[in-house]
């Protein structure tokens, strides 16, 4: 659509909305049999502070036309501020179609109907009645993103122009994260793959069908080319052919080997060490191998982990994450996404891939149990419930949490203790 067509579309949209509001206002005036001016101008005699609102650059159309009854009931209402409908639904009476029927992502305030988190329902200093202009409004909620962008060395140009260059503020029918189009189609709108510089930067590999955000941070980073801050050495050295077939081959993006065998070429000591253990984390043996958890090109996380550990580990261990979320007492390593505080992510000689053979010693790295309990534990103390087991921390506590305090699996301490000490049951 060219510029003239876009202007025509805006004019038509404004005419339709204006006609709708005029018709709605007429219907409402007839409904309440209001005197001339009572639909809005009369309101200003009491609500004189709105005169200041009328001086702001962006004014909501009903208020600008003096039609307060476009949103408010002049007599009484079941809703706050005499609104004609519930706060979460009233905007949609005029602003229909904000959420496409097949939306792949919806902005949380839009989905909740809390439009006033971004818009002032009367007037505002910014266009579209926005509370703030540009990225400042977005960073009110997305504070982490705002703080990061003030620090990074290289910023993605569209970000400096405004978040709405790539994102739809309400909902997207095409992509997650409110993107206006799916990646890589969105990126190719600006970055033309037929340009010599594009081909050179990607070592002549046909990456037009690849997901750009697999290597590049779409907002900004400290790396040239806005690569994620942690880059795989072959990528940094522009040695794509170390892992992939040659760029002029029939299958240039195919890797030379599959699974962990590809990684063994460089990381042989690490991989040989894994297979020397009694237990190996199953994703390593999976078809994807190391790529189950690691990104082979670049990531935000250290060790080229695909995402933070709660997200990465949680893709398989969803039950553990959900358990911790519901747990009355939070276990710090899980809550803070430090799964590797207790578990080895690759391999171990110990049950559950524990970092230490003794559960008591493992828990003791953080918890000095000798200071809070006199209960006997250790290999010489057998569990009365199962003589094959000895008493240790997990005999009474569930490390990933329970719905009761202190990770215990029963509502009260008495219920727990009488599992063994039956003579004290009441």
| Bridge partners, residue 279, by sequence | 348
Residue from 304, 148, 187, 292 nearest 236 by CA? 304
Residue 51: predicted pLDDT = 82
User: What's the pLDDT tens digit per position in 377-420?
Assistant: 999 999 999 999 999 999 999 999 999 999 999 999 999 999 99
Cis amide bond preceding 13, omega within 30: no
Q: 152 pLDDT band (50/70/90 cuts)?
A: very high
Q: What percent of the chain has pLDDT above 90?
A: 77
User: Could you give the 3-state DSSP secondary structure of residue 306?
Assistant: coil
What local confidence, expressed as pLDDT, does residue 45 receive? 85
The pLDDT of residue 372 is above 90: no
Return the half-sphere exposure (C-beta side, CA atoms, 13 A cut-off) of residue 118. Answer: 23
pLDDT of 30 reads 53
pLDDT per residue as tens digits for the range 237-284: 999 999 999 999 999 999 999 999 999 999 999 999 999 999 999 999
Q: Report the pLDDT averaged over residues 175-204.
A: 94
pLDDT tens per residue, range 89-147: 899 989 988 999 999 999 999 999 999 999 999 999 999 999 999 999 999 999 999 99
For residue 16, the SS3 value is helix
pLDDT tens, residue by residue, 93-106: 899 889 999 999 99
- Taking the whole predicted model, whether its pTM rises above 0.85 is answered as no
Average pLDDT over residues 189-199: 93
Ramachandran region, residue 179 (left: φ > 0; alpha: ψ -120 to 50; beta: rest): beta
pLDDT given for residue 375 in this prediction: 87
Closest by CA to 306, choosing from 318, 321, 292, 295, is 295
Give 194-222 as a 3 state SS string.
CCHHHHHHCCCCCCCCCCHHHCECCCEEC
How sure is the predictor about 10, in pLDDT bands with cuts at 50, 70 and 90?
Answer: very low
Q: Which residue has the higher pLDDT, 2 or 32?
A: 32
- The mean pLDDT of the chain is 89
329-348 pLDDT tens trace: 999 999 899 999 999 999 99
Residue 36 neighbours by CB under 8 Å, 6+ apart: none
In this structure, the dihedral spanned by the alpha carbons of residues 43, 44, 49 and 55, taken in order and rounded to 10 degrees, is 120
**pLDDT tops 70 at residue 160:** yes
Residue 334's CB: how many other CB atoms inside 10 A? Answer: 25
Residues 6+ apart with CB under 8 A from 145: 138, 139, 219
16, pLDDT greater than 90: no
User: Is the dihedral angle over the CA atoms 115, 117, 118, 120 positive or is it negative?
Assistant: positive
Which residues, 6 or more positions from 203, have their beta carbon under 8 angstroms from its beta carbon? 238, 240, 241, 247
> Running DSSP on this structure, what letter comes out for residue 347?
E
Q: What does the H/E/C string look like for 247-259?
A: CCCCCCCCECCCC
What's the confidence (pLDDT) of residue 27?
55
Q: Residue 286 contacts by C-beta under 8 Å, 6 or more apart in sequence?
A: 259, 292
Model confidence at 286, pLDDT cuts 50, 70, 90, reads: very high
pLDDT at 371: 67
């Amino acid at each position: 659509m060219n510029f003239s067509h876009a202007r025509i579309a805006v004019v038509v949209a404004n005419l339709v909305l204006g006609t709708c509001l005029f018709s709605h206002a007429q219907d409402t005036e007839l409904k309440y049999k209001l005197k001339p001016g009572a639909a809005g101008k009369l309101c200003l005699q009491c609500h004189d502070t709105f005169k200041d609102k009328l001086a702001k650059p962006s004014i909501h159309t009903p208020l600008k036309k003096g039609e307060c009854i476009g949103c408010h009931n002049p007599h009484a209402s079941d809703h706050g501020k005499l609104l004609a409908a519930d706060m979460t639904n009233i905007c949609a009476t005029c602003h229909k179609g904000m959420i496409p029927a097949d939306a792949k992502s919806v902005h949380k305030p839009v989905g909740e109907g809390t439009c006033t988190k971004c818009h002032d329902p009367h007037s505002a200093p910014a266009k579209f009645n926005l509370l703030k202009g540009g990225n400042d409004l977005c960073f009110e909620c997305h504070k982490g993103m705002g703080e990061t962008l003030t620090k990074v060395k290289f910023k993605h140009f569209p970000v400096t122009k405004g978040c709405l260059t790539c994102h739809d503020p309400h909902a997207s029918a095409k992509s997650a994260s409110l993107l206006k189009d799916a990646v890589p189609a969105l990126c190719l709108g600006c970055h033309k793959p037929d340009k010599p510089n594009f081909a050179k930067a990607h070592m002549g590999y046909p990456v037009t069908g690849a997901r750009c955000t697999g290597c590049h941070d779409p907002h900004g980073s400290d790396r040239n080319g806005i690569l994620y801050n942690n880059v795989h050495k072959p990528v940094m050295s522009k040695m794509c052919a170390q892992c992939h077939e040659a760029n002029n081959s029939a299958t240039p993006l195919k890797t030379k080997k599959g699974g962990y065998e590809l990684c063994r070429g460089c990381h042989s000591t690490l991989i040989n060490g894994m297979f020397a253990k009694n237990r190996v984390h199953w994703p390593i043996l999976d078809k994807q191998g190391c790529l189950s958890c690691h990104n082979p090109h670049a990531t935000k996380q250290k060790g080229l982990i695909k995402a933070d550990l709660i997200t990465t580990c949680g893709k398989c261990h969803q039950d553990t994450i959900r358990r911790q979320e519901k747990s009355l007492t939070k276990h710090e390593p899980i809550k803070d996404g430090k799964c590797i505080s207790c578990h080895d992510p690759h391999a171990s000689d110990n049950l559950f891939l524990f970092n230490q053979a003794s559960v008591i010693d493992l828990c003791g790295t953080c918890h000095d149990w000798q200071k809070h309990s006199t209960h006997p534990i250790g290999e010489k103390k057998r569990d009365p419930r199962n003589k094959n087991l000895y008493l240790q921390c997990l005999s009474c506590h569930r490390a990933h949490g329970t719905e009761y305090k202190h990770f215990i699996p029963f509502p009260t301490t008495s219920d727990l203790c009488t599992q063994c000490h039956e003579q004290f049951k009441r």
